[in-house]
């Protein structure tokens, strides 16, 4: 049961960080600037590192499996990034 709770917590935590990454990317795309895109990539990497690093640093204080939570967080971050990319590509196709 601790594995299931760890996986669910990781999925939720990764989804929250992925949503924050989506907001960062949308703001950068709205500015339509190369510098804004570069800064957003740096900010998104910092969010990813913070999300994964926090799980790693809090591993002894978590009431469930931290290893599973760390893996689930990484997977959730990746899935959120892919979903954002697919939605963005879909909007580009409709615009042409």
Residue 2 has pLDDT above 90, yes or no: no
Residue 24 has pLDDT above 60, yes or no: yes
Parse the chain into domains and list their residue ranges: 2-89
Distance CA(69)–CA(59), nearest Å, equals: 9
Helices (H), 1-96: 2-31, 34-57, 66-95
Q: For residue 55, give both structure tokens.
A: 């799980």
pLDDT of residue 92: 67
Q: Taking the alpha carbons of 25, 80, 11, 73 in that order, is the dihedral positive or negative?
A: negative
Mean pLDDT, residues 29-48: 93
């Amino acid at each position: 049961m601790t594995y299931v709770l760890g996986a669910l917590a990781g999925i939720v935590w990764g989804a929250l960080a992925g949503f924050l990454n989506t907001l960062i990317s949308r703001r950068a795309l709205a500015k339509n600037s190369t510098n804004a895109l570069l800064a957003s990539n740096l900010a998104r990497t910092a969010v990813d590192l913070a999300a994964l690093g926090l799980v790693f640093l809090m591993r002894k204080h978590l009431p469930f499996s931290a290893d599973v939570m760390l893996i689930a967080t990484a997977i959730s971050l990746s899935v959120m990034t892919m979903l954002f990319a697919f939605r963005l590509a879909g909007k580009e196709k409709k615009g042409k």
